[in-house]
Amino acid sequence: MGRTLPTPVPCRVCGDRSFGKHYGVYCCDGCSCFFKRSVRRNIIYTCISGDGRCIIDKARRNWCPYCRLQRCFSVQMNVAAVQEERGPRKPKLTSKKSMAFTTLSPEAFSFASSPMSISSETNPTHELAAQILLVAIKQARCNSGFGLLNRSSQNCILSYLWAPLFLLRAAHWPTENSNLFPGVENTFKYIKHLKLSSIDLEIVENILLCRADLLDDGDQITLAGNILTRALDGLAIRTALDRRRFANILLAMPVLFIPSAVVLHSLLFRPVIGSVPIETVISTI
C-alpha cells in the first residue's frame, strides 16, 4: 500500500492520525520518530507511575516514554527495520570489533578497548546479544522490586543469574531471535507461549532474581525475601482465574537455565569481551 493513505487511520500507538506504515505498523510521525530515536540510542526508560500501565493517547503520549515504548513493542513495531535504515551519507569506516562495543555503554567496555582482549571477529549475532544483555541488566536495575536492593546485592545476584535473565529478555525481544541463537529454540518457544505482559514480565524477573540465598547482608536478605513474597502474591492475584497459568509461569524458571551460562558466554559474549569476566561487565552497566 505504500506509506501514504488517501484517508488517515488511527495510530496504533497513541490514536493520532496516521497516513501510512512506519516500521511495519500504522502509526503517526511522532510515534515513529520516538520509536526510532529510542531504538537507535538504546534508551532505557522508567515508568513514571511505577506500574507500567500509563495511558498512552494523543494528549498524554509524552508523559511516560517507558509505557509509550512498551506500547510500540506490543503493536509489533519492527526494531530490525530501524537498525537496517541507512542515511544518505556514507558511514565512517569502522571495524567490526569497534561496532560490537557501540551496542553497550562506553563504560561497560572501557577496560576492554584493546583488540588484544577480543578473541575473535564479532558478527550481528554477537552485537544483538550484547544489546539484549545491556537492556536486560538496565531494566532489571529499574525493576520496582529488584531495583530496591542495593547495587552490591544486585551485582552479586546478577553475576549468578545473568544468563536466565538474558534469555527471558531475548525471548521477548521484538525480533525473531531463535534462529540467531542456536540451541535456545525450545526455551524461547516455552517462554513465548506464556504470553507475558510487561507487568507479568516484571513479576517474573522479581521471582527469578530476588534470591536471598545468594546474599550475605541480613537486611538485604530480608528485603529480597519480602520482594519475592510480594511478587508471588502479585502473580497469584493476576492468575486467580487460571491456576494452571500460575503453575506454568513458575515452571518456566528451570527452562530459563537452558542453555547454561557457560554455553551462552562461550557462544555469544566471549567474542565481544574476550577474557574479561562477564561479572565485571555487568558491574559497569
Are residues 13 and 108 located together in one domain of the fold?
no
Contact of 256 with 185, CB cutoff 8 Å:
no
Lowest-pLDDT choice from 20-29, 49-58, 127-136: 49-58
Cell numbers found for residue 68: 509509550
Residues 6 or more apart from 16 whose CB is under 8 A from it? 10, 28, 30, 31, 58, 61
For residue 20, being part of any structural domain is answered with yes
For residue 15, being part of any structural domain is answered with yes
**Could you tell me if residue 15 is left (phi over 0), alpha (psi between -120 and 50 degrees) or otherwise beta?**
left
Are residues 206 and 107 located together in one domain of the fold?
yes
Q: Angle CA(111)–CA(114)–CA(102) in degrees, nearest 5?
A: 70
Q: Indicate the number of domains in the chain.
A: 2
Quote the pLDDT of residue 232: 94
Please state the rounded mean pLDDT for residues 50-59. Answer: 81
Q: Whole-angstrom Cα distance, residue 211 to residue 146?
A: 10
Are residues 138 and 109 located together in one domain of the fold?
yes
pLDDT: is 46 or 85 the higher one? 46
Q: Whole-angstrom Cα distance, residue 256 to residue 170?
A: 11
pLDDT at 89 over 50: no
Please state the rounded mean pLDDT for residues 139-149. Answer: 91
Average predicted confidence (pLDDT) for the chain: 81
For residue 4, being part of any structural domain is answered with no
The model's confidence at residue 122, banded by pLDDT at 50, 70 and 90, is low
For residue 1, being part of any structural domain is answered with no
Residues 6 or more apart from 31 whose CB is under 8 A from it? 11, 13, 14, 16, 22, 61, 68, 72
Quote the pLDDT of residue 206: 95
**Could you tell me if residue 183 is left (phi over 0), alpha (psi between -120 and 50 degrees) or otherwise beta?**
left
Are residues 76 and 99 located together in one domain of the fold?
no
**Main-chain phi, psi angles of 176, to 5 degrees:** -80, 115
Instruction: Determine which helix (DSSP H) or strand (DSSP E) holds 233, and give its type and residue range.
Output: helix 218-238
CB neighbourhood size of 149 (10 A): 22
Are residues 31 and 144 located together in one domain of the fold?
no
Quote the pLDDT of residue 268: 87
Are residues 116 and 38 located together in one domain of the fold?
no
Quote the pLDDT of residue 105: 36
Length of the chain, in residues:
285
pLDDT in tens, 187-246: 898 999 999 998 899 999 999 999 999 999 999 999 999 999 999 999 999 999 898 999
Quote the pLDDT of residue 154: 95
How deeply is 188 buried, as exposed, middle or buried, from its count of CB atoms within 10 A (0-12, 13-18, 19+)? buried
For residue 2, being part of any structural domain is answered with no
Q: Give residue 121's domain range.
A: 92-284
For residue 163, being part of any structural domain is answered with yes
Supply the CATH number for residue 61's domain: 3.30.50.10
pLDDT at 112 over 70: no
For residue 50, being part of any structural domain is answered with yes
Quote the pLDDT of residue 93: 41
pLDDT at 17 over 70: yes
pLDDT: is 110 or 265 the higher one? 265
Are residues 79 and 97 located together in one domain of the fold?
no
Cell numbers found for residue 160: 549468578
CA dihedral 196, 198, 204, 208 (to 10 degrees): 130
The last residue of a domain, from among 83, 103, 122: 83
Please choose, from the candidates 172, 194, 206, the residue with its C-alpha nearest in 3D space to the C-alpha of residue 242: 194
pLDDT: is 122 or 211 the higher one? 211
pLDDT above 70: percentage of residues in the chain: 82
pLDDT: is 129 or 12 the higher one? 12
Instruction: Determine which helix (DSSP H) or strand (DSSP E) holds 35, and give its type and residue range.
Output: helix 29-40
Please state the rounded mean pLDDT for residues 157-182. Answer: 85
Are residues 260 and 154 located together in one domain of the fold?
yes
The model's confidence at residue 27, banded by pLDDT at 50, 70 and 90, is very high
Quote the pLDDT of residue 144: 85
Supply the CATH number for residue 257's domain: 1.10.565.10
Q: Whole-angstrom Cα distance, residue 68 to residue 28?
A: 13
Lowest-pLDDT choice from 109-113, 140-144, 250-254: 109-113
The last residue of a domain, from among 53, 83, 113: 83
Lowest-pLDDT choice from 52-56, 92-96, 140-144, 172-176: 92-96
Q: Does the CA dihedral 14-237-204-249 come out positive or negative? A: negative
Q: Whole-angstrom Cα distance, residue 255 to residue 188?
A: 9
